[in-house]
Structure 1
């Protein structure tokens, strides 16, 4: 009688790692020099999740928002960033929505730092946001009615003390995510976003 010996394999494949490095989270969005920025801002070197699938979720959400014809609509979360072993209260988040035209009429805040990128870019110790417009073949009619995109990085208060010197680092994170989404959506001129963030503060006019 012939006996066939084989090696059994799991139907589920290899188990996922129990942690991820900064360059692996958010689908590798911060791989390279920004790895140190993420570690500095969030006070961690390892994370519980890599945020797989978030880019497509954010892009699909923005397309659906544009097609709704509304002045405002939610887009989607690109990723949640969870420092390992700290708990969900320390999750930070990067998300995208379609903003209302009147949002750019809001008064400038003395608690934020502003930058000359997109339509408006602002950061504080707790996060950063960028407003920009996108003309793209992926948005039918966008030459006449550009897609209005709001990208935001929100830091969990529990992840690190809210020191003012984190402001520029927060903007670097928001810029990297917003630029990646602009490229994915084929926005003309990347929606007015530079390849590298312009971190020279913009002094807004007095109201």
Structure 2
């Protein structure tokens, strides 16, 4: 079975999981091709070149290797960048305090079409609420950060009166694994890795948005539990 976590569930760390059974997967496979087949891609690059080339730090690039077991990834397309996502986020915030979108999708070299990382953004309309599910480690980054062996999210408040107005935007950056397989590797190392990647993309987004004090994010991820 494949376990898919909704964006809102990922953000709040709540147990809101959709279990997609083999019949559903089979139907999707008939409609969209063989998910077990290798992903057909073009150029492959190091992790630091993904998502526009500014989103993944050297440390986060190594974290991607921990998560995927690969050092090469399918090159992101021209619109799968933090710059493009920041523009969409800013436009959405001017008309609504909530919204969401994609930043980029990460496919490791030789990965199956069904095995990927999705990097997303969300405007939540307010600070984080609710208690996280037990699988998540709570971290002191931004307003709150959560990390697990298969997902990570950093939530920060962005103040920039010039582009966003007088009210802060509450931004969540999520990194989520979509795969029919269970994560492989040491759970603690995987949790650190997801936190590291989520922090790197969040810091890049905060800088691109021009957030005061980079949204309260430090230059390096804080991995110790809060």
Instruction: Tell me if both proteins adopt one fold, taking TM over 0.5 as the criterion.
Output: yes
Q: 1:161 is matched with which residue?
A: 184
Matches within 5 A, 1:95-114: 95-101=120-126, 104-114=128-138
Cα distance in 2 for residues equivalent to 1:31 and 1:190? 16
Paired residue secondary structure (2:164):
coil
Q: Deviations over 1:39-77 (max 9, x none)?
A: 11111122222343321221022112211234x212x32
Q: Find the aligned partners of 1:41 and 1:81 in 2 and give their Cα distance.
A: 11
Count of aligned pairs between the two proteins? 181
User: Which residue of structure 2 aligns with residue 36 of structure 1?
Assistant: 62
Match of 2:216 among 192, 202, 206: 192
Aligned counterpart in structure 1 of residue 159 of structure 2, from 122, 135, 138: 135
Gaps (5+ residues) in structure 1? Answer: 1-15, 203-207
In structure 2, the partner of 1:9 is none
Aligned partner of 2:92 in structure 1 is 65
Unpaired segments ≥5 residues, structure 2: 1-40
Query: Root-mean-square deviation (CA), in Å?
Result: 2.1
Does 2:111 match 1:86?
yes
- Deviation string, structure 1 residues 158-177 (Cα, Å, up to 9, x no partner): 48427412101100000000
Residue 97 (structure 1) shift: 1.1
Partner Cα separation in structure 2 for residue 155 and residue 188 of structure 1: 30
**Bigger shift: 174-183 or 132-141?**
132-141
Match of 2:195 among 171, 192, 201: 171
Task: State the 1:94 CA deviation.
Answer: 0.9
Relative contact order higher in (CA < 8 Å, ≥ 6 apart)? 2
Tell me by how many angstroms 1:34 deviates: 2.9
- Going from structure 1 to structure 2, the CA distance change for 1:31 and 1:100 (only over 3 Å counts) comes to closer
Q: Deviations over 1:8-48 (max 9, x none)?
A: xxxxxxxx963222222222232523322211111112222
**What TM-score do you get using the length of structure 1 for normalisation?**
0.79
